[in-house]
């Protein structure tokens, strides 16, 4: 069954949740920071706006502030005060005021008598003319009548327009004859504001909104009014309403900045919708959040890559360790195998030794059994010369009786020859039956050949046998016994001379050596008659001979074969293609040794 993850999406959701958890505490300070920054920018902007507006407002007010005292000194005005009943004087005053109004841009300019009645006004021709109306209840009139410059904000009782009133007393000596008033229209200062998201608010000393870009806020109280204030308001009627309702502004919806105008007791405020601040903050948080998210994701990616890298390293090192472990195990196995092999080799060597020993014993046993089987022929071999010796001896006695000394001597010589032959037979048998326990040693081949040749040199020369020798100059070292090797070589050379004696001249004997993988093959070839078919098969058997009993015993090759095998070598019999026998001694190579003469006897 294939192994699939039961919840493949879980890790992704989990990492997203972790990401969100990481982001949340980072976003909060980011928002604080953005808020602080943007509110700072906003405050600075609003401050500039406020400055501008306040400067504009104060500029407007101050422009008219100086007008009433100047007008108060004009002779036409004073004359109108002195002669209020004179129609032409009042007409002149009306015209003057209307002229000045036109030139200064004031809303209304009017002259009030000490009782509060309006004597002349710039709007004398209009329906809502101030002329003959009494404004003595207005605070600016009261102030001026007390000799102080009067100021007042209020709604025009006839026009309904918001206006600011500047009043100045008109003196004559200590007496105050009347009051000169300039009313300016403030409605237009609102329109200057335009369609801005920030809202403007001018409150008077009661905290009542008198100028605002929001019509619904107008004449609403921004703070609670006490009873005295309420009474004053009712008395002076500055607003359209007798009791201004409270202004209800959502606490968190607006950011407020204000500037008090000390001289006139007003406060100019600028209200910025909170949204105005929220928008850039939200954008900043979104941008910052995205950047942070990207950063965290990048960090996550980096960490993941690092984890993968570390995992790979760990895997690599694990694999290496496993490999080392395997190599170690393999080495141990090999060592175990090696020691087992060594043990096996030892056992094998031991077995081989035992085998060699067994073989040796077998050979010995077979020799003994051969001796047993050949005892008959031995006794036959020995009985023949013995019988001959007896007959020669008997015969010698008879010859001695007949004084035939020479014949006796001849008989004795024959007897001696026969004993020699018998000794030879016995010596051969001894050599064959002897159990050779000498271990092979390093023997130099060429000197052994030289020795064997030297022993037969006389006979060879007599037979005029040509020796063709093809041996390397460098000494060839072989595993053998000094004496045994000479014995073998002597036997083979003697056999070759025997064979050559059967053929006429030219008689040749070849000696050559061939290096093989195991050691040296020494070839002995003659151009005699060669082995007969039967001899090739049986020549190694003890007592096989094709020679007369006087010439051979048939033990030579049997002894040579046994000796060679005991030395770890081999004796090969063959006929050369060009005729004649070729015998090969297969000898094993040996380390270079020292040429020593063996204590063994040389037996032929």
The reply to whether 496 sits near ligand ADP by the rule CB under 6 A is yes
Q: Which of 207, 289, 447, 552 binds ligand ADP (CB under 6 A)?
A: 552
DSSP letters for 420-482: HHHHHHHHHHHHHH----PPPEEEEHHHHHHHHHHHTHHHHHHHTEEEEEE--SSPPEEEE-H
The reply to whether 440 sits near ligand ADP by the rule CB under 6 A is no
C-alpha–C-alpha distance, residues 241 and 583, integer Å: 159
**Residue 254, token pair as written in the block:** 């607006």
Q: Which of 212, 554, 561, 567 binds ligand ADP (CB under 6 A)?
A: 554
Q: How many CB atoms lie within 10 A of CB 271?
A: 22
The reply to whether 381 sits near ligand ADP by the rule CB under 6 A is no
The reply to whether 546 sits near ligand ADP by the rule CB under 6 A is yes
- Nearest to ligand ADP of 193, 602 (CB atom): 602
Q: Which of 68, 178, 530, 569 binds ligand ADP (CB under 6 A)?
A: 530
Q: What does DSSP say about strands 570-575 and 581-588: parallel, antiparallel, or unpaired?
A: antiparallel
Residue tagged 């327009």 (tokens): 161
Q: Which of 94, 118, 483, 545 binds ligand ADP (CB under 6 A)?
A: 545
The reply to whether 76 sits near ligand ADP by the rule CB under 6 A is no
Q: Which of 480, 535, 571, 603 binds ligand ADP (CB under 6 A)?
A: 535
The reply to whether 539 sits near ligand ADP by the rule CB under 6 A is yes
- Nearest to ligand ADP of 118, 545 (CB atom): 545
Which helix (H) or strand (E) covers residue 520, if one does? strand 519-526
* 2 three-class SS: coil
Q: Which of 374, 556, 561, 571 binds ligand ADP (CB under 6 A)?
A: 556
C-alpha–C-alpha distance, residues 217 and 548, integer Å: 166
Binding part of the chain for ligand ADP, among 52-60, 340-348, 368-376, 541-549 by CB under 6 A, reads: 541-549
CB of 448 to ligand ADP, least distance (A): 19
Q: How many CB atoms lie within 10 A of CB 30?
A: 19
C-alpha–C-alpha distance, residues 236 and 152, integer Å: 9
Residue of minimal Cβ distance to ligand ADP: 552
The reply to whether 495 sits near ligand ADP by the rule CB under 6 A is yes
CB of 457 to ligand ADP, least distance (A): 18
* Cβ contacts of 381 within 8 Å, gap of 6 or more: 425, 549, 553
Binding part of the chain for ligand ADP, among 148-156, 266-274, 277-285, 545-553 by CB under 6 A, reads: 545-553
CB of 390 to ligand ADP, least distance (A): 25
C-alpha–C-alpha distance, residues 483 and 481, integer Å: 6
The reply to whether 271 sits near ligand ADP by the rule CB under 6 A is no
The reply to whether 511 sits near ligand ADP by the rule CB under 6 A is no
Side-chain-side CA neighbours of 105 within 13 Å: the count stands at 6
The reply to whether 582 sits near ligand ADP by the rule CB under 6 A is no
CB of 509 to ligand ADP, least distance (A): 10
* Cβ contacts of 148 within 8 Å, gap of 6 or more: 169
C-alpha–C-alpha distance, residues 570 and 574, integer Å: 13
- Nearest to ligand ADP of 163, 542 (CB atom): 542
Q: Which of 169, 178, 385, 528 binds ligand ADP (CB under 6 A)?
A: 528
Contact in structure between 600 and 438 (CB atoms under 8 Å):
yes
Quote the strand ranges of 72-125, DSSP E. Answer: 108-113, 118-121
> Rule CB under 6 A: which of 226-255 touch ligand ADP?
none
CB of 537 to ligand ADP, least distance (A): 11
How many positions of this chain bind ligand ADP (CB under 6 A)?
Answer: 22
For residue 223, give the nearest of 253, 252, 244 by alpha carbon: 244
The reply to whether 549 sits near ligand ADP by the rule CB under 6 A is no
Residues of the shown chain interacting with ligand ADP in the complex, contacts defined by CB under 6 A? 495-496, 499, 526, 528-531, 535, 539, 544-547, 552-558, 581
């Amino acid at each position: 069954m294939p192994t699939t993850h039961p919840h493949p999406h879980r890790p992704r959701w989990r990492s997203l949740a972790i990401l969100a958890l990481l982001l949340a505490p980072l976003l909060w300070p980011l928002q604080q920071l953005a808020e602080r920054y943007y509110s700072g920018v906003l405050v600075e902007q609003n401050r500039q706006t406020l400055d501008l507006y306040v400067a504009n407002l104060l500029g407007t007010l101050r422009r008219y502030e100086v007008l009433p005292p100047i007008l108060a000194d004009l002779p036409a005005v004073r004359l109108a005060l002195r002669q209020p009943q004179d129609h032409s004087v009042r007409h002149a005053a009306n015209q003057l005021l209307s002229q000045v109004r036109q030139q200064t841009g004031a809303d209304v300019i009017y002259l009030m008598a000490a009782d509060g009645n309006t004597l002349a006004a710039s709007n004398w021709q209009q329906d809502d003319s101030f002329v003959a109306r009494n404004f003595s209840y207005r605070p600016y009139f009261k102030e001026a009548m007390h000799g102080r410059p009067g100021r007042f904000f209020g709604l025009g009782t006839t026009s309904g327009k918001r206006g600011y009133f500047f009043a100045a007393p008109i003196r004559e000596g200590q007496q105050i004859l009347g009051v000169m008033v300039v009313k300016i229209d403030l409605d237009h200062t609102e329109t200057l504001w335009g369609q801005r998201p920030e809202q403007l608010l001018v409150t008077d000393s009661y905290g009542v909104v008198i100028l605002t870009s929001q019509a619904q806020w107008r004449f609403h109280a921004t703070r609670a009014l006490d009873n005295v204030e309420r009474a004053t308001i009712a008395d002076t009627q500055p607003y359209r309403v007798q009791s201004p309702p409270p202004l209800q502004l959502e606490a968190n919806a607006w950011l407020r900045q204000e500037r008090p105008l000390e001289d006139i007791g007003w406060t100019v405020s600028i209200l910025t919708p909170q949204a105005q601040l929220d928008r850039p903050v939200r954008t900043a948080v979104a941008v910052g959040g995205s950047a942070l998210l990207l950063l965290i994701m990048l960090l996550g990616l980096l960490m993941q890559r690092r984890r993968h890298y570390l995992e790979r390293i760990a895997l690599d090192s694990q694999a290496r360790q496993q490999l080392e472990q395997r190599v170690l195990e393999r080495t141990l196995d090999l060592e175990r195998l090696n020691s087992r092999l060594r043990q096996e080799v030892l056992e094998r060597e031991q077995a081989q030794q035992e085998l060699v020993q067994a073989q040796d014993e077998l050979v010995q046993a077979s020799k003994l059994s051969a001796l047993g089987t050949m005892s008959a022929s031995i006794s036959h071999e020995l009985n023949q010369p013995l019988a001959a010796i007896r007959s020669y001896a008997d015969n010698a006695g008879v010859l001695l009786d007949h004084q035939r000394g020479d014949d006796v001597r001849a008989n004795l010589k024959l007897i001696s020859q026969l004993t020699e032959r018998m000794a030879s037979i016995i010596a051969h048998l001894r050599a064959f039956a002897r159990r050779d326990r000498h271990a092979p040693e390093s023997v130099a081949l060429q000197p052994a050949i030289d020795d064997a040749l030297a022993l037969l040199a006389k006979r060879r020369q007599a037979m005029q046998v040509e020796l063709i020798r093809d041996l390397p100059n460098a000494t060839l070292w072989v595993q053998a016994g000094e004496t045994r090797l000479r014995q073998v070589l002597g036997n083979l050379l003697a056999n070759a001379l025997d064979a050559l004696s059967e053929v006429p001249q030219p008689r040749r004997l070849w000696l050559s050596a061939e290096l093989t993988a195991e050691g040296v093959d020494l070839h002995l070839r003659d151009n005699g008659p060669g082995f007969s078919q039967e001899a090739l098969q049986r020549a190694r058997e003890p007592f096989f001979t094709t020679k007369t009993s006087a010439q051979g015993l048939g033990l030579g090759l049997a002894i040579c074969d046994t000796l060679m095998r005991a030395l770890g070598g081999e004796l090969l019999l063959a006929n050369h293609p060009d005729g004649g026998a070729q015998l090969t001694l297969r000898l094993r190579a040996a380390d270079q040794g020292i040429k020593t003469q063996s204590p063994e006897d040389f037996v032929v």
